Amino acid sequence: MIFNCSRHRNNHLVLSPIEEAFKTFFPRMLLLNYLGKIGPKTPLKAAATFSVGWNIFACSESLEKPLNWLLFNYYLTTCLQSSVNKHRHMFVKLIDMDHVMKAKSIREFDKRFTSVMFGYQTNDDYYTDASPYHRLKSVGIPVLCLNSVDDVFSPSHAIPIETAKQNPNVALVLTSYGGHIGFLEGIWPRQSTYMNRVFKQFVQAMIEHGHELSNM
């Protein structure tokens, strides 16, 4: 989630959503990579990410463990294949689509399709460039990052805790439980989640105190 806090004519700060699409795995990494590359020059005033994958190598290794592959990896791979196969005619001259459709994991799909489409020499080059952990130190606006240490999509050992400590713009919040974009609360979790609650608090803080941060 990214947003601008702009001053309305009645002198109150109002929240203007820019993009609601940052709710899936890779767009969240794109957001952090963008913020890390552009630093304080971004027109955005603040951002929040949830269950981001910090190191794609570590994410892939976690998802390739037998149980995780069975529960998540293989299914997601078939979803990716289905998506690109709908537009197969656009790729056949550039990529061996038959080889892509035989991929059994996300890593294999990325090696055969994604890295090729984006012009990387190798899949390792793509994973290195796409992993946002090494750009976190350059983020120049307030960013809330919520992760759970039991998230198989983003293993805890790859979360850049020390890097986050060195950047005062970054608030890295870790929970013991929550899974991947879960963060359910209560014995019978039916409505609000911890993720929603923390996000609302973060937005409220930016509305009330965002101007103080920009003047520091």
pTM, full prediction: 0.82
Nearest to 12 by CA among 210, 194, 190, 216: 210
Distance separating alpha carbons of residues 116 and 88, to the nearest angstrom: 15
Nearest to 158 by CA among 44, 37, 54, 71: 54
pLDDT of residue 216: 53
Task: Give 140's DSSP letter.
Answer: -
Can you give the pLDDT of all 216 residues of the chain as single tens digits? 444 444 333 433 333 333 333 344 567 899 999 999 999 999 998 999 999 999 999 999 999 999 999 999 999 999 999 999 999 999 999 999 999 999 999 999 999 999 999 999 999 999 999 999 999 999 999 999 999 999 999 999 999 999 999 999 999 999 999 999 899 887 777 778 999 999 999 999 988 887 776 655
pLDDT of residue 215: 58
Instruction: Map out the domains of the chain with their CATH numbers.
Output: 2-55+131-214 (3.40.50.1820), 60-128 (no CATH)
Task: Give 18's DSSP letter.
Answer: E
Residue type, 175: T
Q: Which residues are bridge partners to 171 per DSSP?
A: 144
Q: How far is CA 114 from CA 27, 84, 122, in A?
A: 14, 10, 10
